[in-house]
């Protein structure tokens, strides 16, 4: 069994600061800390919060590793997750390509794949061109 020991003052301070946070992950992690300080097992916490024990274990590991003053930052999801933007490296060339090929998506996709070694689907390119007003 593993528990995160927090004083009532620490729990209340965290609740006051993050209790109504818009991110549900922060709220779940805060609740996990609260339940753990009440000596609930990881299995009970995972079932109540509807998360896996592995997720809970990784969060507790991250919580233990950080310094005291950085603990609140451990409640948040780390930066850099998710799909990385593929077209950012050619954002300067895209307006030129769109003008040259008269916004023909198939031709632009072919040029991106041949010359820049970037493979994206037509919908991705279309959304990117629309978002950047090209």
pLDDT tens string 67-92: 888 888 888 888 888 888 888 889 89
| Rounded mean pLDDT, 25-48 | 91
Looking at the structure, tell me whether residues 93 and 69 fall in a common domain: no
**pLDDT value for 100:** 92
Which residue's structure tokens are 């996709």?
109
Looking at the structure, tell me whether residues 70 and 103 fall in a common domain: no
Residues 94, 132 contacting (CB under 8 angstroms): yes
Q: How far apart are CA 108 and CA 122, in angstroms?
A: 9
| Mean model confidence pLDDT for the chain | 89
Higher-pLDDT residue of 101, 2? 101
Q: Residue 76: helix, strand or coil by DSSP? A: coil
Does any domain span residue 2?
no
Does any domain span residue 83?
no
Domain of residue 106: give its range.
88-131
Which residues 6+ apart lie within 8 Å of 53 measured at CB?
42, 43, 46
Helix (H) or strand (E) holding 112: helix 105-115
Q: Is 93 exposed, middle or buried (0-12, 13-18, 19+ CB in 10 A)?
A: middle
**pLDDT value for 1:** 65
Looking at the structure, tell me whether residues 24 and 69 fall in a common domain: yes
- What confidence category does residue 105 fall into, taking pLDDT thresholds of 50, 70 and 90? very high
Q: pTM for this structure?
A: 0.62
**pLDDT value for 111:** 93
The total number of structural domains in the chain stands at: 2
**pLDDT value for 118:** 92
Which residues 6+ apart lie within 8 Å of 24 measured at CB?
none
């Amino acid at each position: 069994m593993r528990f995160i020991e927090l004083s009532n003052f620490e729990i209340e301070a965290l609740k006051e600061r993050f209790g109504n946070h818009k991110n549900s992950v922060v709220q779940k992690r805060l609740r996990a800390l609260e339940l753990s300080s009440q000596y609930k097992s990881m299995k009970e916490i995972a079932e109540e919060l509807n998360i896996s024990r592995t997720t809970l274990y990784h969060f507790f590991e991250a919580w233990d590793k950080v310094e005291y003053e950085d603990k609140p930052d451990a409640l948040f999801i780390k930066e850099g997750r998710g799909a990385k933007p593929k077209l950012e490296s050619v954002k300067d060339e895209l307006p030129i390509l769109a003008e040259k090929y008269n916004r023909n998506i198939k031709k632009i996709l072919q040029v991106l794949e041949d010359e820049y070694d970037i493979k994206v689907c037509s919908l991705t390119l279309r959304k990117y061109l629309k978002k950047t007003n090209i």
